[in-house]
Amino acid sequence: MSSQASQQLLLSCLQHVVQQHGAAVAVREPDGATVTYDDFALLASRLRRALDQPAVGSREPIGLLLERSGSAYAAMWAAVSLGRPYVPLNPSYPRSRLADIIKQSGISQVVATTKTATAAQELVGDHHRLVIADDPALAMAERDDEFWQARDGGAVAYILFTSGSTGKPKGVPISYGNLWAFAENMAATIAYRENDVCSQVCELSFDFSVHEIYLALLAGATLCPARTIDLFNPAQYVERNGITVWISVPSLARVVLANGPTIDERLDSVRLSIFNGEALTARLAAAWQQTAANTVVWNTYGPTECTVAVTAQQWHDDPELEEADVVSIGTAFPECRTALGTNDGVVVTENASDGLVGELLLGGPQRFDGYLDATLTSPFIVDGDTTWYRTGDRVRWRQQRLYHLGRLDHQVKIGGHRIELLEVEHQLRECIDRDEIAVIAHPKRHPTELILFVTAPIDAKLSAETSGLPAYMVPKRVLPVPSLPVNAHGKLDRDRLHGLAEEMA
């Protein structure tokens, strides 16, 4: 299927939802205001018209300096209609990181709100390149009658930036074909209902938000963007909105359970719970099931490079579905393929012996074609006529399922965010002007924090602004050591650092 065909299928699917459910609520804003599907389509078409300015680039990517909201979702669909990639710009990121993302991706326009307009103008330097989504004038603009007809602009639907080992964010372009394949595969695996009320708690710069947003809107369900404050007590957010489909990283579920929901907040409305982004333990799944008594729990897995998720496993209390307390990541979606990279070569899972361990390789229509920066080391391995994406994850194939055993490198996940320790170290060396530093993710198996080790005291308090890193990449603790431990080969001994972290706690 061509890229434009997938682009048109996305638009046609949304158009069908609007025609069938125009008066239904598409978005319930954090302040309680509701946006019907008719109103949502109108806003998206107005944003399309506002963005359709050849003078500032008719094919270049569109930056979205927006928080979770109906305006943000409408801007995404406006970009899809125009055939131009959109690039989420997280308002909480340091300006230096946002400037780097804008430069790398070649963004020509930015959609902002009155709240983020000043920052947006500082980043792009020209107010003519801004579109203000909550501008009263936009609400009076005419509908763009060409909205439902996809313009052939290019293959890329969106670009997300992940942590990179060179110290620079790494751009991941996802095509319309990738996105449509994911939407089809996920809908065929975990069915939504038209009357579902869906959570939207992930930042737009986090690829799990693609799952939250597209699956809800393409099913005619209601999407409920969360406020930042809601993430401190998600149970109240669930109860207030009557959430029926909960999607999050497991660590946010831990926040819900740690806060101890009251009897009135037992999450009885939740019928589907879908987790991704980090290891889901069987212990957490069982505790969540007990709190959300009516839910069905799913564990999904996938890297940004393969469009959010490529495998899934429905959880129930069965020891065969876990290994070392970690729930199986299941099997591949239709048309997606999985294999293991071993010392003996590539072994596709359908031919793998029970118990085989190796690096997880992914193929199929959800796999991207390569990073935005073509000079980066290729993440692919070619075997015969198949190009596989190397995930860097170690897995076991057992009883026709995949079990995640951890990372092969120093890339970690905390709170669902993928973090390259080398990038953090690279940035901190520049920030604090020290060469003798090391960063670990601690505890080792299921990390919850980054710890910075230094051989000399540092004066400045680390923060997102002082370090130039997103808040989730800033070490929570700074521990002084006389020298960094090394092993017999003279290499940094990270295992010893974990021991020191325990001793110095």
Considering the chain, what percentage of its residues have pLDDT values greater than 70? 96
Could you tell me the CATH number of the domain that includes residue 494?
Answer: 3.30.300.30
The answer to the question of residue 320 being in a domain is no
The span from the CA of 11 to the CA of 144, in Å, is: 14
The span from the CA of 429 to the CA of 437, in Å, is: 7
pLDDT of residue 166: 64
The answer to the question of residue 20 being in a domain is yes
Reading the block at residue 456, the tokens are 């000399």
The bridge status of strand 222-225 relative to strand 197-200 is parallel
The answer to the question of residue 212 being in a domain is yes
Count Cβ atoms within 10 A of the Cβ of residue 406 and give its class: 0-12 exposed, 13-18 middle, 19 or more buried: middle
The type of residue at 237 is Y
Spans in the chain with pLDDT lower than 50 = 488-489
Reading the block at residue 8, the tokens are 């048109």
Domain that holds residue 385: 334-407
- End-to-end CA separation in angstroms for the chain: 55
Q: Which of 407, 438, 471 is the last residue of a domain?
A: 407
The span from the CA of 220 to the CA of 173, in Å, is: 27
pLDDT of residue 57: 61
Which residue intervals of 190-248 are DSSP H helices? 208-218, 234-241
pLDDT of residue 138: 93
> Looking at the structure, do residues 27 and 157 belong to the same domain, yes or no?
yes
The span from the CA of 276 to the CA of 418, in Å, is: 12
> Looking at the structure, do residues 182 and 203 belong to the same domain, yes or no?
yes
Q: Please, are residues 255 and 284 in contact by the beta-carbon 8 Å criterion?
A: no
> Looking at the structure, do residues 200 and 51 belong to the same domain, yes or no?
yes
Could you tell me the CATH number of the domain that includes residue 372?
Answer: 2.30.38.10
> Looking at the structure, do residues 462 and 366 belong to the same domain, yes or no?
no
pLDDT of residue 491: 65
The answer to the question of residue 419 being in a domain is yes
pLDDT of residue 451: 96
The answer to the question of residue 499 being in a domain is yes
Looking at residue 393, the DSSP 8-state letter turns out to be E
> Looking at the structure, do residues 394 and 417 belong to the same domain, yes or no?
no
The answer to the question of residue 81 being in a domain is yes
The answer to the question of residue 297 being in a domain is no
Tokens 């936009």 belong to residue: 138
- Short-list 443, 442, 362, 441, CA closest to 395: 362
> Looking at the structure, do residues 117 and 72 belong to the same domain, yes or no?
yes
Could you tell me the CATH number of the domain that includes residue 156?
Answer: 3.40.50.12780
> Looking at the structure, do residues 364 and 426 belong to the same domain, yes or no?
no
> Looking at the structure, do residues 476 and 386 belong to the same domain, yes or no?
no
Looking at residue 235, the DSSP 8-state letter turns out to be H
3-state SS record for 281-319: EHHHHHHHHHHCCCCEEEEEECCHHHCCCCEEEEECCCH
pLDDT of residue 445: 78
> Looking at the structure, do residues 123 and 135 belong to the same domain, yes or no?
yes
> Looking at the structure, do residues 396 and 417 belong to the same domain, yes or no?
no
Q: Which of 201, 226, 251 is the last residue of a domain?
A: 226
Q: Please, are residues 475 and 467 in contact by the beta-carbon 8 Å criterion?
A: no
The span from the CA of 269 to the CA of 242, in Å, is: 6
The span from the CA of 272 to the CA of 253, in Å, is: 13
The answer to the question of residue 325 being in a domain is no
The number of distinct structural domains making up the chain is 3
> Looking at the structure, do residues 124 and 169 belong to the same domain, yes or no?
yes
Q: Which of 172, 207, 226 is the last residue of a domain?
A: 226
pLDDT of residue 427: 87
Reported as type and span, the H/E element at residue 62 is strand 62-64
Residues of the chain by 3-state class (helix, strand, coil), percent to 5: 35, 25, 40
> Looking at the structure, do residues 473 and 395 belong to the same domain, yes or no?
no
